[in-house]
Amino acid sequence: MYESKQTNCPKLKAVIAGDVRLQKLKKTFENKYGESPLFYASAPGRVNLIGEHIDYCGYSVLPMAIEQSILAAVSVNQSGSIQLANTNPQYKDFTLPCAGDIHIDRENPHWFYYFLCGVKGIQEHCGLSDVAGMRCVLDGTIPPSSGLASSSAMVCCAGLATMEANHELLSKVELAEICAKCERYIGTEGGGMDQSISFLAERGTAKLIAFDPLRSTNVKLPDDAVFVISNSCVEMNKAASSHFNVRVVECRIAAKMLGKARGLDCSRLWKLAQVQTELNTSLEEMLSLVDEVLHPEAYSREEVCEALGVTSQELCSRLLSANTQHVTHFKLYQRAKHVYGEAARVLRFKSVCESGCSDAVAVLGELMNQSHASCRDLYECSCPQLDQLVDVCLQSGSLGSRLTGAGWGGCAVSIVTREKAKSFLQAVREAFYLADPRRSAEEKHSLFVSQPGGGALISVE
């Protein structure tokens, strides 16, 4: 009889019968390993409705979980190894010994390293010398490298499976924090939105996720609107490029510059939100401070060093990440403007949802449009195909459309009145997907209405 410590934690545990995907995965597992899985772990992807590139600056974001997820079938043994397989043949098998340090190779971010990030996170947090042996088959339905947090779902699924296999008991908040931290082993210095919503999501509601400390609040979306996800069909692997970490570093330097200009001890400042907290001021005043202190021309390394009173060597070792050592210029003004403006839009979005006012959907749409313009022009994290997709969505009847997730490719999210949803889907289908043969094959999985889904789960049959 399978026993789990999770019986005390019903929300992380479910008994599932007759789930088609799970049954298919069970068969694959049995064919591969000649035994049945002991349990299943699943973690959803997410769509961020508003609040882009501000989680790592300490500001709240507003995502919801999506139905697409990473699902793992798992058995536990004393073999001293972790065996990983994937239903997608593109992702090759991998076996790792349980003893010793788990090494994550940032230079080659293969799929299994995301899984190993989750294993390593639990191992370290729980102080396990050797983790239990596991056999796993992974199955993913989240389009990868498309801004819907497939990588984090993999990390969260692995963290949850490792917790269960080792009879540990952790809360959802602990799991979210561990997984946010350990995904950084892959090199991307993300803020924690993806792992938090993957664990804290509840069916039927979006969430305002706040950080330091991590907490979440339900946000009821208007009944007369639907949110539609559309994929630009441009993939962008964050760990294999430096775009993401360049932005993180620019925000870090901007925080120090702004703090220093107002006489704060900038050695303690790492996030733009900290500057606001220490100055005890509003976001509007922070936007004015950016205008006053920073200039729109990009800063050279020399100028940054001089302003912060650090040597070039200190800049490299304390402020730049491994994959941003080469950067020569930093757009501090534009990045800080985006972050403070976007942080304000998130709060406005939440209060409009709560207001129940008759033009709520139009106001939310306008906030989403402003968010996209800011991502495109100030944060420079869009790309031509994504901008084209956003334009097509707006021309097809959406009241607001924006890139979602890290950007530089991936998906857009649109707010559409419920009555226009059908005609909107048809118009985007024709104008963006069927018009281009490279996209038409992908259309089925690239354009869909998304409802707020539930969070990560351990399940047994």
| Residues in contact with ligand NG1 by the rule CB under 6 A | 48, 52-53, 55-56, 147, 149, 151-152, 183, 188, 190-191, 193-194, 238, 405-406
Give which of ligand NG1, ligand ADP, none residue 342 binds (C-beta under 5 to 8 Å, depending on kind): none
**Which one of residues 63, 118, 121, 147 is an interface residue with ligand ADP (CB under 6 A)?**
147
Q: Determine if 144 is a binding residue for ligand ADP (CB under 6 A).
A: yes
For ligand ADP, the binding residues in 54-83 under the rule CB under 6 A are: 70
Least CB distance from residue 87 to ligand ADP, whole Å? Answer: 8
Both structure tokens of 184? 């950084």
Residue type at position 120: K
Q: Which partner from the list ligand ADP, ligand NG1, none does 317 bind, CB cut-off 5 to 8 Å by kind? A: none
The distance of closest approach from Cβ of residue 378 to ligand NG1 in the complex, given in angstroms and rounded to an integer, is: 14
Q: 251 or 360: whose CB is closer to ligand NG1?
A: 251
Question: C-beta of 348: minimal distance to ligand NG1 in Å?
Answer: 17
194 carries an active-site annotation: yes
- Token pair, residue 30, equals 């049995």
Contact 162, 131 (CB under 8 A): yes
* β-strand pairing of 225-231 with 411-417: antiparallel
Residue 333 interacts, among ligand NG1, ligand ADP, none and using kind-specific CB cut-offs from 5 to 8 Å, with: none
Distance of closest approach, residue 86 Cβ to ligand ADP, in angstroms: 5
Identify which of 49, 35, 299, 20 has the alpha carbon closest to the alpha carbon of residue 139: 20
- Nearest residue (CB) to ligand ADP, 86 versus 276: 86
CB 188 → ligand ADP: shortest distance, Å?
7
Q: List, edge to edge, every strand of the sheet that includes 81-86.
A: 13-15, 457-460, 39-50, 62-77, 133-140, 81-86, 94-97
Q: Find out whether 457 and 12 touch, Cβ atoms under 8 Å.
A: yes
- Check residue 386 for interaction with ligand ADP (CB under 6 A): no
Q: Does 334 bind ligand ADP (CB under 6 A)?
A: no
* Sign of the torsion angle spanned by Cα atoms 190, 82, 28, 3: negative
Find the binder of ligand ADP among 46, 125, 135, 238 (CB under 6 A).
238
Find the catalytic residue in 55, 105, 194, 224: 194
Question: For ligand ADP, which is the closer residue by CB, 138 or 225?
Answer: 138
Q: Closest CB to ligand ADP belongs to which residue?
A: 140
> Taking CB under 6 A as the criterion, which residues in 98-117 touch ligand ADP?
111, 114
> By C-beta, is 86 or 396 nearer to ligand ADP?
86
Q: Mask 399-418, x = binds ligand ADP (CB under 6 A)?
A: ------xx------------
Identity of the residue, 139 or 342, whose beta carbon is nearer to ligand NG1 in the bound complex: 342
Q: Does 151 bind ligand ADP (CB under 6 A)?
A: yes
Query: Catalytic residues, which ones?
Result: 194
Residues that bind ligand ADP (CB under 6 A): 70, 86, 88, 91, 111, 114, 138, 140, 142, 144-152, 154, 237-238, 405-406
